[in-house]
Amino acid sequence: MSALTNKRILIGISGGIAAYKTAELARALIKHGAEVRVCMTKAATEFITPLTLQALTGNPVSSELLDPAAEAAMGHIELARWADLIMIAPATADLIARLANGHADDLLSTICLATETPIHLAPAMNRLMWSNAATQDNCKTLSQRGYTLHGPAEGEQACGEIGAGRMLEAQDLADLVISVFDKSIFNQSIAKLPLSGKTVLITAGPTREAIDPVRYITNRSSGKMGYAIAAAAQALGATVQLVSGPVSLEAPDGVERSFIESAAQMHDKTMALANDADIFIATAAVADYSPAQVAEQKIKKDSKGQNSNQELSLKLQTNKDILSDVSHAFPRLFSVGFAAETENLIENALGKLKRKNLNMIVANQVGENKGFDRDTNQIEILWQDGQLSLPEQDKKTLAIELMTTITEHFIASSTLTSK
Ligand code: CTP
């Protein structure tokens, strides 16, 4: 059986140059077993002909709201009910604005208003239209209402400019659709992604604590686990805010990333974002200490008083605990911590669960050949009255399993009034 057997996907196309990629998307979904129907806006028909899509999908293409013949075949309400998932690619700035304002002035916007089916958008537009506050506000409104946005990607645009606004590639969109149906949690209820309308705040990577303008203290964290969790949270429908230390990883498409350097900056940024979050996951390897004073100039070997016996002492001060401060300041947040331990794994992790006021803690053994800077990991998930062991596996797969467990506990805890 193919990944999309028995799945009914309605592709919406609005009028942008990226519409040519949508033919490829239809082909890819059909190849994976889906039944595909297409609804186009009038402007979309200027970029790609309905006949092309009809030939590819084997189904008539719908575009008119007030077409008696089309309504008699499959009316707009029927089409809205028919689909297991709606993917609008490309979603233009205009369509996004119309959806955010609840318009029903053509077939595609009417379907979106008349459905409980999860709606995914692949925005595509000029980079300035994308970064315009109006478009950003509209996207925020839609994602708070349960729409899932994918991309846009950065790169050279059809208009010749370079920036964020390119539609994701057809194969990437097809993979995203497959991943939606892949997860067991989605199969329980595909009417709505479980984290639709929720915001997940994640810290990731190491921090850098400056000694002087050219030197710093850091650690071996690669950020891979945090980034994989960000991608998994997004696939579950969440809006994801990623506060990241310096790493060389690409942010997953659609995830909003804030780069910081020091633990103090990570603390400030995370506290500022926590008020709008529903789940907080602290994966960052935050430096526990930072130099009490940062030298304004590069420390020289012959600095007065520093090299009398070829030694240099650095006075370190304790950094604020981001996880603990966030979970105590925002007790309604579902807070998840990580405990990287070299010994007494469970005992130390349970101590942190309590001390840091957490709903859940993910314990992992670190040390030689374990944990940091690797592609695999093995974890124990602990909560007040339970535990789940996840065996050594690729961090991306692990992140999906972990995020699924967090989601299940978050949904269960939403009915409780306090921790
Ligand atoms: N953490 C944090 N801010 C800090 C230190 C840690 O948010 N200043 C978070 C980490 O992101 C992780 C959890 O706290 O989710 C546990 O971090 P860890 O370093 O294992 O624990 P510590 O509290 O620093 O305890 P210790 O170093 O004594 O083991």
pLDDT at residue 192, rounded to an integer: 62
Return the residue whose CA atom lies nearest to atom 27 of ligand 1: 288
User: For residue 214, how far is its CA from the centre of ligand 1 (angstroms)?
Assistant: 26
Burial 261-271 (b: 16+ CB within 10 A, else e): bbbbbbbebbe
Regarding the beta carbon of 282 and ligand 1, being less than 6 Å apart is answered: yes
Return the residue whose CA atom lies nearest to atom 18 of ligand 1: 339
pLDDT tens, position by position, 400-413: 889 989 998 998 88
Regarding the beta carbon of 340 and ligand 1, being less than 6 Å apart is answered: yes
Exactly one of 39, 112, 139, 159 is catalytic; name it. Answer: 159
Return the residue whose CA atom lies nearest to atom 12 of ligand 1: 338
Contact 176, 88 (CB under 8 A): no
Residues whose CB falls within 8 Å of the CB of residue 159, separated by 6 or more in sequence, listed in order: 126
User: For residue 283, how far is its CA from the centre of ligand 1 (angstroms)?
Assistant: 9
User: For residue 383, how far is its CA from the centre of ligand 1 (angstroms)?
Assistant: 17
Atom of ligand 1 nearest to the CA of 362: 15
Contact 227, 251 (CB under 8 A): yes
The C-alpha atoms of residue 18 and residue 90 are separated, in whole angstroms, by: 6
pLDDT at residue 419, rounded to an integer: 37
CA dihedral 112, 114, 118, 119 (to 10 degrees): 0
Pocket test for ligand 1, best of 286, 320, 333 (most atoms within 8 A of CB): 286
Regarding the beta carbon of 323 and ligand 1, being less than 6 Å apart is answered: yes
Regarding the beta carbon of 180 and ligand 1, being less than 6 Å apart is answered: no
Q: Which two tokens stand for residue 237?
A: 């429908």
Pocket test for ligand 1, best of 352, 353, 361 (most atoms within 8 A of CB): 352
User: For residue 261, how far is its CA from the centre of ligand 1 (angstroms)?
Assistant: 17
User: For residue 138, how far is its CA from the centre of ligand 1 (angstroms)?
Assistant: 37
pLDDT tens, position by position, 73-130: 667 788 888 999 999 999 999 999 999 999 999 999 999 999 989 999 999 999 999 9
Return the residue whose CA atom lies nearest to atom 20 of ligand 1: 339
**pLDDT beneath 50, residues of the chain:** 184-191, 417-419
Regarding the beta carbon of 322 and ligand 1, being less than 6 Å apart is answered: yes
Q: Quick check: pTM over 0.85?
A: no
Return the residue whose CA atom lies nearest to atom 21 of ligand 1: 339
Residue with tokens 């002909």: 49
Domains of the chain: 8-181 (3.40.50.1950), 190-293+316-418 (3.40.50.10300)
Regarding the beta carbon of 267 and ligand 1, being less than 6 Å apart is answered: no
Of 176, 177, 186, residue with least CA distance to 252: 176
Regarding the beta carbon of 339 and ligand 1, being less than 6 Å apart is answered: yes
The C-alpha atoms of residue 263 and residue 231 are separated, in whole angstroms, by: 23
Regarding the beta carbon of 338 and ligand 1, being less than 6 Å apart is answered: yes
159 is catalytic: yes
pLDDT at residue 135, rounded to an integer: 96
Axis crossing angle, helix 133-144 with helix 93-100, rounded to the nearest 10: 50
Atom of ligand 1 nearest to the CA of 323: 7
User: For residue 401, how far is its CA from the centre of ligand 1 (angstroms)?
Assistant: 22
Pocket test for ligand 1, best of 323, 353, 359, 379 (most atoms within 8 A of CB): 323
Regarding the beta carbon of 281 and ligand 1, being less than 6 Å apart is answered: no
Regarding the beta carbon of 14 and ligand 1, being less than 6 Å apart is answered: no
User: For residue 87, how far is its CA from the centre of ligand 1 (angstroms)?
Assistant: 40
User: For residue 339, how far is its CA from the centre of ligand 1 (angstroms)?
Assistant: 7
Kind of pairing between the strands at 316-318 and 289-291: antiparallel
